[in-house]
């Protein structure tokens, strides 16, 4: 049986999450914070979004600098996280250095990042939009770097113990942040749409590939020849005209 969560606990459904350690600023002043609310938004261009409240000093630095880094750190730094995620650079100057981290600069883009980070992305701020009590800052990823615990296209979790977050305890008792990691990772490689799913996966990519080939031949989504051809292709896959508008939207984004 499921139980309803009170409003103050609804975010917990999404946890544990590896918080991003945002770093932004100028040579004169660099700041940063932890952000549990971050996500990839697009592959092409490669966009990341992060929700930041106006009160954060990092909010100001993000706007002033127009660029930033998103870092991930190992669980071994858990005890200094209050410097990054509980107190503000506005009041504790150089809190990142005071926490014991080294701020490094990417010379190519002039963006600060954390020397001890397991990995980091360098981003250019391209958009900011208000959502409720936070703003969604959208950054285009310029480059990403990882340390020696990233091997053959993925993290070696026997050496990298990600710092993850599970939420905080509530007042009136002393507030505690709950951080978590794991001693041993259970890893399983699952075949992409294997077994009985193969045929559905081929349908999915089949229809897209046929539509793309048609588009290449016809040259534009916005003409009757494409429309008629596309409806014929969709028909072969048991799809109807209603689906076409979504495929047109999908194809238009690749142009």
Q: Does the protein bind ligand FMN through residue 53 (CB under 6 A)?
A: yes
- In 3D space, the residue among 110, 98, 119, 131 whose CA is nearest the CA of residue 68 turns out to be 110
Site for ligand FMN in 150-179 (CB under 6 A): 165, 177
Residue from the set 57, 77, 113, 137 that interacts with ligand FMN by CB under 6 A: 57
3-class secondary structure, 79: helix
Residue from the set 74, 86, 106, 243 that interacts with ligand FMN by CB under 6 A: 86
Comparison of 36 and 114: residue with beta carbon closer to ligand FMN: 36
Q: How far apart are CA 100 and CA 76, in angstroms?
A: 12
Q: Does the protein bind ligand FMN through residue 77 (CB under 6 A)?
A: no
**What's the half-sphere exposure (Cβ side, CA atoms, 13 Å) at 71?**
30
Q: Does the protein bind ligand FMN through residue 34 (CB under 6 A)?
A: yes
CB 188 within 8 A of CB 40: no
Residue 50 CB, nearest approach to ligand FMN (Å)? 7
Name the β-bridge partners of 209.
none
Which positions from 96 to 135 touch ligand FMN by CB under 6 A, shown as an x/- string? --------------------------------------x-
Give 252's contacts (C-beta < 8 A, 6+ positions apart).
221
Q: Does the protein bind ligand FMN through residue 147 (CB under 6 A)?
A: no
Comparison of 86 and 147: residue with beta carbon closer to ligand FMN: 86
Comparison of 117 and 214: residue with beta carbon closer to ligand FMN: 117
Q: Does the protein bind ligand FMN through residue 31 (CB under 6 A)?
A: yes
CB 92 within 8 A of CB 83: yes
Q: Does the protein bind ligand FMN through residue 36 (CB under 6 A)?
A: yes
DSSP annotation of 240: -
Q: How far apart are CA 64 and CA 60, in angstroms?
A: 6
């Amino acid at each position: 049986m499921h139980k309803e969560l009170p409003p103050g606990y609804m975010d917990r459904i999404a946890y544990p999450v590896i918080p991003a350690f945002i770093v932004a600023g100028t040579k004169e002043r660099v700041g940063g914070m932890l952000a549990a609310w971050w996500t990839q938004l697009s592959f092409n261009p490669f966009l990341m979004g992060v929700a930041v409240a106006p009160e954060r000093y990092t909010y100001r630095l993000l706007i002033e600098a127009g660029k930033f880094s998103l870092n991930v750190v190992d669980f071994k730094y858990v005890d200094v996280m209050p410097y990054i995620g509980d107190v503000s650079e506005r009041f504790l100057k150089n809190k990142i250095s005071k926490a014991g981290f080294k701020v490094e600069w990417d010379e190519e883009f002039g963006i600060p990042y954390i020397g001890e980070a397991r990995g980091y992305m360098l981003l250019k701020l391209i958009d900011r939009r208000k959502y409720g009590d936070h703003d969604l800052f959208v950054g285009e990823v310029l480059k990403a770097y990882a340390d020696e615990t990233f091997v053959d296209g993925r993290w070696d979790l026997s050496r990298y113990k990600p710092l993850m977050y599970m939420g905080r305890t509530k007042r009136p008792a002393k507030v505690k942040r709950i951080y978590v990691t794991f001693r041993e990772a259970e890893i399983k490689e699952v075949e992409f749409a294997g077994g009985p799913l193969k045929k559905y996966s081929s349908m999915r990519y089949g229809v897209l590939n046929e539509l793309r080939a048609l588009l290449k031949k016809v040259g534009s989504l916005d003409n009757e020849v494409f429309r008629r051809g596309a409806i014929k292709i969709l028909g072969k896959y048991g799809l109807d005209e209603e689906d076409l508008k979504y495929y047109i939207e999908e194809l238009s984004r690749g142009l």
